[in-house]
Amino acid sequence: MILFHRTSGRVVDKPLKNPPAYAIASVDHALRLATVLQLEGPLTVADAAIRLGVARSTAHRLLQMLVYRDFAAQSADKSYRAGPVLELAAHSRSETARLRSAALPVLQRLVDVVGESANVAVRIGATARFVVSVESRQSLRVGSREGMVFAAHRTTAGLLMLAELDPADLAAVYDAEHAAAVEAPDLRRLRRELTLIRRQGFAVNREESERGVVAVGVPVADGQGRPVAGLSVSMPSIRYEPERLPRLVSLLQEAARSIGAQLAD
């Protein structure tokens, strides 16, 4: 989410998405639960408590408030699902949940190896949404982006997914309707960048989505070889070493193949 120091908790660089000066934990917890319900489907009070790292009574109160405001609904089996405000097509939820389930253990191993935070994101139109994040254990690290949405051309995963589009489809993404809703890039420059990404098979994002952050990513393909997501590692720019790039890309590609194999199964 942002670059920060674990021990002091202070912001060490200003991201393009600025966190509030006085964060409210309960609001953050409720928003995270709403994101989980929308992206992954039903969960129980116990699941919610584990996910947030809070007591079951706290998770229950949060879920009840989401029900009251129609962000959630309670099923007969006492589990909670996305309510009318968040309702998505069942296929969309199941695919996202499957991707997250396949990616999470791979990301955890990747973080252990590279020592930096790892993410998987999908493209939705002209935006990229992070569906799973695993943070580095280093005190100075890039925090979780799970559930966050950025302009696709400003994220590693978004660039990787845009690079898979043919010229007509790319133009359609940034037609007048989309341009009014999201930040529109310089298409001529973007096409040149996407051509390079497509040729080399990976993307490097230097401070495009957050100042002081560098990300390196590769595409993730499903069982039919179709690119469905982008896998990336994010690090403070002061730790980025270009000479490590070939090994980092190799590790990412190996991890992407593991996720793809899980999706195929």
pLDDT at 71: 85
Beta carbons of 174 and 224 less than 8 angstroms apart: no
Class of domain 91-264: alpha beta
Q: What is the pLDDT of residues 121-150, one digit of tens each?
A: 999 888 888 999 999 999 999 988 887 888
Q: How far apart are CA 236 and CA 96, in angstroms?
A: 28
Q: Where are the domains of the chain?
A: 11-82, 91-264
Buried b (16+ CB within 10 A) or exposed e, 236-249: beeebeeeeeeebb
Ranges of beta strands (E only) in the chain are 3-5, 72-74, 80-82, 117-124, 127-134, 140-142, 149-151, 203-206, 213-221, 227-236
pLDDT of residue 1: 41
In the prediction, which pLDDT does 259 show?
97
Domain made up of 11-82: CATH architecture: Orthogonal Bundle (1.10)
Per-residue pLDDT at 244: 93
Tokens at 96, concatenated: 């996202």
Tell me how far CA of residue 63 lies from CA of 42, 58, 80, in angstroms: 12, 9, 8
Tens of pLDDT along 81-124? 888 777 655 446 678 888 999 999 999 999 999 999 999 999 98
pLDDT reported for residue 21: 62
What is the per-residue pLDDT for 40? 82
Identify the pLDDT of residue 4: 46
11-82 and 91-264 have identical folds:
no
Q: Which two tokens stand for residue 88?
A: 């998505």
Residues in the chain with pLDDT < 70?
A: 1-23, 87-93, 176-183
Q: How close are the terminal C-alpha atoms of the chain, in Å?
A: 31
